Structure 1
């Protein structure tokens, strides 16, 4: 955790300045204290407090880091009868070691400070308690008189037996016994011991292949005209080809808004560099010096201003930290971004004029301090606001070195934000590797739809493009929302060779496509799919190819890639000229993947994951796969692991977090024999996958999305893909769905939160939720703990419009999610419930409670008072059954309103008093006996919507002695799927009659119902809208309390029907 590490580092610094405070030990006899000290070795283990008297603080004992008395020395002391009661004798016998002399100094100071103190044996170290008693120069012959428990010293130091040794030994043993635990330990919950232990599946698949070999990418070629640094490349093109177009930005109408040439980029970047270094602060105390960090805050529709500011920072040797534009003072995740800026020491924010005007302002016109952010100076980088640099000023352009070039932010699973540092040599090498892998050449045109501030959009659209003097057409996301086909139109218009997109851009282009004639994609030689590692990207790629293959798109052009903030580009599929070579594809068993094992399956099955390759390892890199948890051991060839990369072109650290850096950026993969595979460190990519045949890399998920449920791994992206496959366009609002896990009973449980469309009804919601649960159960074989639906546009958003996962999870845990529909299914997924406990006979509740408090165990059970003791009203005791209670209430409180029915507006539609319910129940009882010819004990199905009719029918059955079964009525708009469930419950419950309203009667006899269910198979149907006027001759009274009152049937989310007798 980022915050934890930062806090621990601060505490460690504080601890260095802080004096060590001695801790108290138990009082004990001076004689015993001395005898233990004489021959007890320095205890380096974590013993009990009774044994801790020989341990000192960090400065006062031989067990400290300054030096320790070894075990051989201690044994020789015990045998030869020497003593450690004074430091002088210890130092003499140990050869006058430096540690002992330092100890003597400390002891001397202690003696002087405590000279007038009484002999208190509660001092922390044993030496202190003895030293206080004696003058500094006294000899040490008193303590050994009662030496060791079994040895006593004679005049010449020979040990002999002692008559008191047994008693002393007994006392020593008593003191060594552990004390009674502190009070809080009595209340330690033994919950984990009581939980059912998850037994591993004996049939689970296990990896059987040989140990994998690290895969090496092709050698990074050395091209003579490659620049020595990215700034040198900018200088070259800015001076040689100043009019060559570098970047074209589009407005929301799809027309060119601005063209940035290489000459303008060079001069404006120099201007920004000069102003950053010389116009902020004073001449003597500049605010920004080379090596300092500044943040770049630019909107997604202004790549030109960002590009100028970014290269201005590189020229000034200042480290840019690009972040998203804060929309409000309390954006989701804003505090974590502020933590990153604070830890990087950022004091200046570079921004554009339009962005600065759009930031939230206080009443005085100042930009307020955002939540958790450090105080910032906002600096506008528009050329008109900047001073022109003097003619003699020129930026210092060096060859690429190990200085930090920029910091890219990364959001972790828990919501914390880390800064990944990328050095200048890594930046240049990465651009060279991308140039070689993608075959970039000068003056090529590239269309970029991605976020240009980070990840693939930054690497291709801002960095590598400048190195190769390419022309970038930047499509803002605001234009994509208006016209999803805009990027395809720009490829055609500019005859672009390369396009950088995500699978969502391909999907929405397919949705918007209406067979336009002017589309021609034959100019494309490379369509980079930035999220090619996602499990659903393959369906977008296949569908896009099927539609646009007739428009000139070739199969070999689609190039998925895999990347991560730590390892930059991990792998990318190379563009080829061979259209006959099909791309790599694997159909893997989902069941095998949950155990981390690769098993090929057939596409016909539902529980399979089809993955596409993301190409080969990057040039100049080595890749391997290691086990995701524990020691980074190499995986077997048929095993899923975390991909690790060894290359120059990667990130180097998490800024300011050395502990987390070591775990991620300094990994040494181990072979099965225990040795590292190479002397160079690897970097964890955070991607789960394997290296397949031909060196093709396959990614099946991310570490951040991993959920381990009952020992099996599930990927959040796979669950999202399954949920979205259930009528995605019809129900989920804009595909906004979040999947995460929460800990319940020491195991992870899956939670799904989705935004539903504004026009969705409650019936639609539960139909969709039931189908999602069934789909996940059948495909992933895992239960969902909770499925919650919230209104559209209510989940916390990231600055780019996606769902902020960690904030959503936090709202769920706090109970602040405010869902409109919830389906909890703990019974399907919480399978490790506590084991049942046996009741102890003949022990009262008070005895159980007291006994367990004393022994420190959990209370096995607690009993409430008997209900009969509360009720003193003799009149009420006569009415043992609910039907009799209603009769009594109809006589004693006839006008008391029992039930109120509200309509959709929240106003009262109907109400029912005690006497009204009693009279209606009597009429229904008469109808059951006369029209239905039913007898007591017969089952009656009540097919009513929730309301007063249902309640009256229920009590009518009780009055007639029938057993009611409540059934949810079929939905008028969805009879085909809901009516069979009604029929199934009626048949399974063996209902002799069916009671309902006149409206539902007509529905059951309609054509739609006849198509779903044979109407002739229904039992007699009674309509309660037309009730008889008569009263029953007598009301049924059960002969004993054990008789059946009603049946409750429910259909589980997986389609199982279960009934409960009450």
Structure 2
């Protein structure tokens, strides 16, 4: 029951005390309109109509005085109007109670805001009487939203100009910011039975995302002024103090190391000419026909296939440094050919080696599209491997000089996460060390059958495609991802037919199989496709593991015999292509739930599944043999504890030598990334900075050495993070939130 008249600023709600008062709401069947029965006296009414079921307290009130006692015996009713009393008994009405908006402790009338909106050239853009003003809750306060029906024929540019003027007018007259101003097509707003705008339903549609405006202007910066205080980093706390504090608290320092790789006489045993006679012929062709010298850079432009592998080893035989480049697509030369030309120019390649199909796209007069997009006369020397002799005999008995471990083996060019073209130098010793590490981890014996569905141009995909199979001698099934796009079941059918125990793929291949084969699982089962032979299915990527996609893939193809523990992820980057990978005898991949709010402050707090603000993270596999990893603060270069988020630093024999620099000013960048040292602690070890944020967590799983397993969790790229008010946000989390806003948005 209302017993006190509530004050709103300088205004009071009006309470009526006259002899002519509405008694109760009349129950009517005509459009549900309330009909009031007036009577001369409230207490002496003899003909009371049938009322609606409504509490009497909603009508009758007893205003109290300053002493909390009723003002008198009279009864009052609420009028729903806002006003104040003037001199000589004058009553001033300023608005309706239902039209009041409480924003930041101040009261605003929706009717006054509508009048302000109509004062800004109303006849050109909106309909008079078709405007809804309401408030929504954002960050523990109410924000004003204006929705109006737009007249047809108004251009988008004129509409935004008018909307900007409306924002300025409301701010100048009412001293309040507008959170959102939306224009919808005519006759799109819900109506009441009497023909007015149904404000509450309009608000529900706005909050549910079902309003579908034609023009939308969001201005949160002008009205959201109660943001939390930014996080301030204490500059006086150095890395030594942080490390000492962690040791005093008994916190585990974030550092882990893979098993020892060992040294033996079989470190550099690869006899390329014995396994690839064609590679020797291509190498002789490059030296005799191309007149190439040792150390020259040669661009290899091939589609995935055996020719690509033979040309790569032909370059090693000739002593030149290969640069692997994806072949341009004949269907989209205007977009792919400039990328090829950029890599050729940046790598300083003196020759291009390819097959006849690609050479026709590059040579003058063979392709009008190529001549239009790129100057065909500016290409370096183009050599077709099909012109190499079918048989070749060495003119001298002297064997070619063996390459040193520190010599450059190949240049690895790739596009970074921010769209920049980056090339690194991989040494001969680093390439062989990576091959041996992969062989030990995955148990790649000569009897193994490995299926690869990867792009063979950079990173771990190139190492598995061209290096690992030759080094280990196992059988390799090469499946280009472009073939899987044409036939989504090709990869799984090939693995099933050849009984491959180990297979490697990308997230793109997994996502394609989930989307295209979701309804074909029973058909594949009837055709005899079985994945029970798969021991390890490793996803090769340079990013945070997509746990949702991996889990969806495992659940979808479980009826085909795919073991849930078989699917795992790996992690590599530009400075080291192979850091983590789930081995054949390693523990099952683990997942944790962390607090996303703590992660923004570079702290790792484990929470339970389903907890508020929980974020699922999946480990990237165990460390490869010979790899040492520490988590370091990217600013202070101090080693972090396992409860802190930091940059992943790696020390390994197969780290890249450095960036392939074209301009001299990039020397500092080279030194910073490949010769980093901790500011305190293990200052003697030389690390390479991966540029990725992550943390280490010691699990209860036991490795093959009998020790507890150190899991590496990758959170995201450092150069992609967004620093807002001292807190760190990752684009992948924002994309995940957006994808969950509507069912038509993809999850991966």
Tell me the TM-score normalized by structure 2. Answer: 0.60
Alignment counterpart, residue 215 of structure 1, candidates 256, 276, 288? 256
Contact conserved, 1:567 with 1:684, CA < 8 A, in 2? no
Question: Structure 1 626/277 Cα, relative in aligned 2: closer, same or farther at 3 Å?
Answer: same
Partner of 1:444: 448
Contact 1:624 1:643 in 2 (8 A): yes
- Secondary structure (helix, strand or coil) at the match of 1:401 reads coil
Residue equivalent to 2:564? 555
Task: For 1:296 and 1:503, locate their aligned partners in 2 and report how far apart those are by CA, in whole Å.
Answer: 26
Shift of 1:601: 2.1
* Residue of structure 2 in register with 1:324 after alignment: 326
Contact 1:218–1:618 at 8 Å: present in 2 too?
A: yes
Q: CA deviation at 1:626?
A: 1.1
Q: Would you say 1:347 and 2:350 are equivalent positions?
A: yes
Tell me the distance in 2 between the aligned counterparts of 1:203 and 1:421. 37
Question: Which secondary structure does the structure 1 equivalent of 2:607 belong to?
Answer: coil
User: CA offset at residue 215 of structure 1?
Assistant: 1.5
CA 1:393/1:292 → structure 2, altered by over 3 Å: closer, same or farther? farther
Aligned to 2:533: 523
| 1:483 match | 487
Assess, with a 3 A threshold, how the Cα gap between structure 1 residues 627 and 404 changes in structure 2: closer, same or farther: same
In the aligned structure 1, how far is the partner of 2:633 from the partner of 2:489?
Answer: 42
Q: Which of 380, 383, 387 pairs up with 2:384? A: 380
Q: What is the rounded CA distance, in whole Å, between the counterparts of 2:310 and 2:372 in structure 1?
A: 26
* Deviations 1:142-177, CA, capped at 9 Å, x for gaps: xxxxxxxxxxxxxxxxxxxxxxxxxxxxxxxxxxxx
Tell me how many residue pairs correspond in the alignment: 490
Structure 2 equivalent of residue 357 of structure 1? 360
- CA distance in structure 1 between the aligned counterparts of 2:273 and 2:673, rounded to whole angstroms: 35
| Offset of residue 718 of structure 1 | 2.3
479 and 370 in structure 1: CA distance in 2 versus 1, 3 angstrom threshold: same
Q: Distance in 2 between matches of 1:555 and 1:498?
A: 14
3-state SS of paired residue (2:553): helix
| C-alpha distance in structure 1 between counterparts of 2:367 and 2:433, whole Å | 48
Pick one of 304, 314, 319 that aligns with 2:306: 304
The answer on 1:514 being equivalent to 2:524 is no
Q: Which residue does the alignment assign to 1:1053?
A: none
Secondary structure at the aligned position of 1:556 is classed as coil
In the TM superposition, what is the alpha-carbon distance from 1:267 to its structure 2 partner?
1.3
Q: What is the CA deviation profile of residues 927-982 of structure 1, one whole-angstrom value per residue up to 9, with x for unaligned ones?
A: xxxxxxxxxxxxxxxxxxxxxxxxxxxxxxxxxxxxxxxxxxxxxxxxxxxxxxxx
Alpha-carbon separation, structure 2, partners of 1:445 and 1:431: 16
Equivalence for 1:272 = 282
> Aligned in 2, Cα 1:641/1:202: closer, same or farther, shift over 3 Å?
closer
User: Could you list the per-position Cα deviations for residues 398-426 of structure 1 after superposition, in whole angstroms to 9, with x for gaps in the alignment?
Assistant: 26510000000132355332210000000
Contact 1:521/1:551 (8 A) holds in 2: yes
Match of 1:658 in 2: 667
Alignment of 1:953-972 (within 5 A): none
Q: Secondary structure at the match of 2:383?
A: strand
Name 2:506's counterpart in structure 1: 502
Q: Displacement of 1:508 after TM fit?
A: 2.5
Q: 1:367 to 1:333 in 2, by over 3 A?
A: closer
Residues 339 and 547 of structure 1: CA distance in aligned 2, closer, same or farther (over 3 Å): closer
Aligned to 2:268: 228
Answer yes or no: is the 8 Å Cα contact 2:361–2:367 preserved in 1: no
CA contact (8 A) 1:534 1:700 kept: yes
Do 1:330 and 1:371's aligned partners in 2 also have CA atoms closer than 8 Å?
no
| 2:578 partner SS | strand
Q: Tell me which of 609, 613, 617 is aligned to 1:607.
A: 613
2 CA distance for matches of 1:444 and 1:211?
Answer: 39
SS state at 2:609 partner: coil
Q: Partners in 2 of 1:410 and 1:463 — Cα distance?
A: 18
Structure having the higher strand fraction is 2
Rate the CA distance shift 1:664–1:392 in 2: closer, same or farther, 3 A.
Answer: same
Q: Is the 8 A contact 2:593 2:614 kept in 1?
A: yes
Taking a change above 3 Å as real, the CA distance of residues 475 and 663 of structure 1, as seen in their structure-2 partners, is same
Equivalent position of 1:670 in the other structure: 679
* Alignment of 1:464 onto 2:468: yes
Q: Is the 8 A contact 2:325 2:343 kept in 1?
A: no
Residue number in structure 1 paired with 2:717 = 702
Partner of 1:636: 641
Contact residue 564 and residue 685 of structure 1 kept, 8 A: yes
* Residue 631 of structure 1: how far off its partner (Å): 3.2
- For structure 2, the residue ranges without an aligned partner over 5 or more in a row are 1-224, 699-708
The alpha-carbon deviation at position 384 of structure 1 amounts to 5.5
Corresponding residue of 1:409: 413
* Cα displacement (A) at 1:296: 0.9
Displacement, 1:590? 1.2
1:634 Cα shift? 1.2
Instruction: Write the distance in 2 (CA, Å) between the matches of 1:364 and 1:509.
Output: 35
> Which structure has more RCO (C-alpha within 8 Å, separation ≥ 6)?
2
CA deviation string 1:411-455 (max 9, x = no partner): 235533221000000000010011111111013211111101212
Structure-2 separation of matches of 1:547 and 1:414: 33
Asked if the contact 1:303/1:452 (under 8 Å) is kept, the reply is no
- Larger Rg computed on CA atoms: 1
Structure 2 CA distance for partners of 1:569 and 1:313, relative to 1, 3 Å: same
Q: Which runs of 5+ in 1 are unaligned?
A: 1-194, 239-265, 281-285, 736-1062
CA contact (8 A) 1:336 1:417 kept: no
RMSD across aligned positions (CA): 3.3
The Cα of 1:333 is off from its aligned counterpart by 8.5
What are the within-5 Å matches in structure 2 for residues 27-42 of structure 1?
Answer: none
Task: Please give the alpha-carbon distance, in whole angstroms, between the structure 2 residues aligned to 1:714 and 1:724.
Answer: 17
TM-score, normalization: structure 1?
Answer: 0.43
Pair 1:534-2:544 in alignment? yes
- Deviation (angstroms), 1:534: 2.5
Alignment match, 2:83: none
State the 1:506 CA deviation: 2.4
Residue 568 in 1 paired to residue 577 in 2? yes
2:438 aligned partner: 434
Shift in alpha-carbon separation, 1:443–1:462, aligned structure 2, 3 A: farther
Q: Which SS does the other structure have where 2:358 is aligned?
A: helix
User: Contact 2:459 / 2:574 at 8 angstroms: preserved in 1?
Assistant: yes
Alpha-carbon shift at residue 365 of structure 1 (Å): 7.7
SS at match of 2:617: strand
1:710 Cα deviation from its structure 2 partner: 2.5
Confirm or deny that 1:649 pairs with 2:654. yes
- CA 1:467–1:370: 2 relative to 1, 3 Å: farther
Change (3 A) 1:721 1:317: farther
* Aligned mates of 2:309, 2:353 — CA distance in 1: 12
Instruction: Answer yes or no: is the 8 Å Cα contact 2:497–2:529 preserved in 1.
Output: no
What are the within-5 Å matches in structure 2 for residues 618-1017 of structure 1? 618-628=624-634, 630-656=635-661, 657-671=666-680, 677-693=682-698, 694-727=709-742, 730-731=744-745
The alpha-carbon distance between structure 1 residues 394 and 274, as it changes in their structure 2 partners (threshold 3 A), is farther
**Which structure shows the bigger proportion of residues in helix conformation?**
1
Q: CA deviation at 1:706?
A: 1.6
